[in-house]
Structure 1
Amino acid sequence: MYVLTIDQRGSTGDIDRVPDLIAELGTLTHAPFERSVGDELQGVLEDAAEVVEIALHALRSGRWYVGIGIGTVQLMTGASPREGSGSGFVAARKAVELAKGAAGQVPLSVVSGSMGRGREVPPAAKEGSMASANAQAVLRLIGRVVQQRTEAQWRVVDRLRELQTGEGRHGSQKQVARDLGITEQSVSRAVLRSGWPEEWAARPAAAMLLDYARSQIEGDR
């Protein structure tokens, strides 16, 4: 399972943005996200692609630290994430703290939990840890692209996504140009400079690495 712990950056000098983010995430996943403590929210997911989607959405505004924990989860069906336990929750807590300390880097970390006993780290746990580190590297790279996107570029990208075009094909770009009242050339430039095709192509790689890390941790039970 995946546990996401997302904490608001600079919350002492800002308004409480947790309710708004919870509402936004409700449009991206059926998994419930709830305030865990203070200006922090938490959710438990099974699908790696949803984890990627939510993490990048949170990074978009630059207002959140994102911690992704991979591990076991004990949580009754329909229960609040606050009632959960297991190595996934421990890993998510460590991940968000590491994200807070990632000075100058994209504020996201991925940590895998382990059910290993004693001092010896099981081989599967080592593989899971390596896959988690690789997933983190890919997500930070995509996250940098997302965070550097301008508002004008986001308008184009958002409209392309609404039209369900992963790669911004020519016909879709014509529709976006009409919808936004700009030229096709402007749309093409925005797509190119936004890094949207590269982001969309890299998302499955991040999800695959998260899935692999999860498979190693589950095999370590």
Structure 2
Amino acid sequence: MSVLVLTVDQQGSRRSPDRVAETVAALAGVPTLRAFEQTVGDEFQGVLDDPAALPPVVEALLRDGTWHIGIGAGEVEEPLPSHARAGRGPAYLLARDAVTAAKSSPWHLRVCGADPAARALETTLWLWASVLARRTSRGWEVADLVAEGLSYDEAARRLGISPSAVSQRAQAAGIVESRRARELATELAARLLGKEPT
């Protein structure tokens, strides 16, 4: 069975409080094959088999800005144990390699896998990360409302600003580019999982 194993390690954990528990709780609504859970120290792990689940996880972690993100794409030994941390197989080894490499990589993120789509996914996520890194708090306000399904006009009313101001914020925040990046990341994750995007 092909899966995506995410191994995520907190940056600078010796100098800051352990944020694993709150981050795992924040990701609880994401559909997973095996839920995110703390492994050792300041690290957590989860297993995904839904390509559409990857972008929201990556976006949340990049937005937070305090994580080394390793994604391993490959097979796991079956039957898969009930806890993510107990699994074995190539995808787990690749995720370990990825999170180690992420510590000295752009955007603290790496994707490892034998399929060429793994490199394409990594490139897509790096480019998306560069868009998100420029997004201001005002840009996130608009992006969050649009993600809830609001139109620009509805977002303008909610924020008490003009529709043109919302449009300007959306453009500066790279909302359209971000949407395209999510779509491409989902397609590439689907290819790695041997599935059609949902």
Aligned-partner Cα distance in 2 for 1:83–1:149? 37
Cα-Cα RMSD: 1.8
Aligned-partner Cα distance in 2 for 1:41–1:6? 5
Shift of 1:186: 1.6
Aligned-partner Cα distance in 2 for 1:75–1:178? 51
Q: Deviations over 1:88-143 (max 9, x none)?
A: 100000001111111xx21111001xxxxxxxxxxxx4xx0x22111100111001
- Which piece of structure 1 moves more, 205-214 or 178-187? 205-214
Q: Which residue, out of 45, 50, 56, partners 1:47?
A: 50
Q: Deviations over 1:133-164 (max 9, x none)?
A: 111001110011112211111011101111x2
TM-score by length of 1: 0.81
TM-score by length of 2: 0.90
Equivalent residue letter for 2:132: V
Aligned-partner Cα distance in 2 for 1:46–1:40? 21
Is it true that 1:133 corresponds to 2:119 in the alignment? Answer: yes
User: Does structure 1 conserve the Cα–Cα contact (< 8 Å) formed by 2:156 and 2:166?
Assistant: yes
Question: Could you list the runs of 5+ residues in structure 2 that have no partner in the other structure?
Answer: none
User: Does structure 2 conserve the Cα–Cα contact (< 8 Å) formed by 1:52 and 1:203?
Assistant: yes
Match of 2:110 in 1: 109
Output aligned runs, 1:51-200, within 5 Å: 51-74=54-77, 76=79, 79-102=82-105, 105-112=106-113, 125=114, 128=115, 130-162=116-148, 164=149, 172-200=151-179
SS of the residue corresponding to residue 149 of structure 1 reads: coil
Number of equivalences: 192
SS of the residue corresponding to residue 101 of structure 1 reads: coil
SS of the residue corresponding to residue 135 of structure 2 reads: coil
User: Does structure 2 conserve the Cα–Cα contact (< 8 Å) formed by 1:75 and 1:83?
Assistant: no
- Which piece of structure 1 moves more, 199-208 or 18-27? 199-208
Shift of 1:207: 2.1
Aligned-partner Cα distance in 2 for 1:83–1:48? 22
Shift of 1:47: 1.1
Shift of 1:84: 0.5
- Which piece of structure 1 moves more, 41-50 or 203-212? 203-212
Match of 1:2 in 2: 4
Equivalent residue letter for 2:13: S
Aligned-partner Cα distance in 2 for 1:51–1:150? 23
Shift of 1:72: 1.1
Match of 1:169 in 2: none
| Large movers: runs of 4+ above 3 Å | 75-78
Equivalent residue letter for 1:177: A
Shift of 1:52: 2.1
Larger radius of gyration: 1
Aligned-partner Cα distance in 2 for 1:52–1:11? 25
Aligned-partner Cα distance in 1 for 2:192–2:144? 30
Structure 1 residues 50, 142: closer, same or farther in 2, change over 3 A? same
Question: Could you list the runs of 5+ residues in structure 1 that have no partner in the other structure?
Answer: 113-124, 166-171, 216-221
User: Does structure 2 conserve the Cα–Cα contact (< 8 Å) formed by 1:8 and 1:17?
Assistant: yes
Aligned-partner Cα distance in 1 for 2:36–2:51? 16
SS of the residue corresponding to residue 41 of structure 1 reads: strand
- Percent of aligned positions that are identical: 36
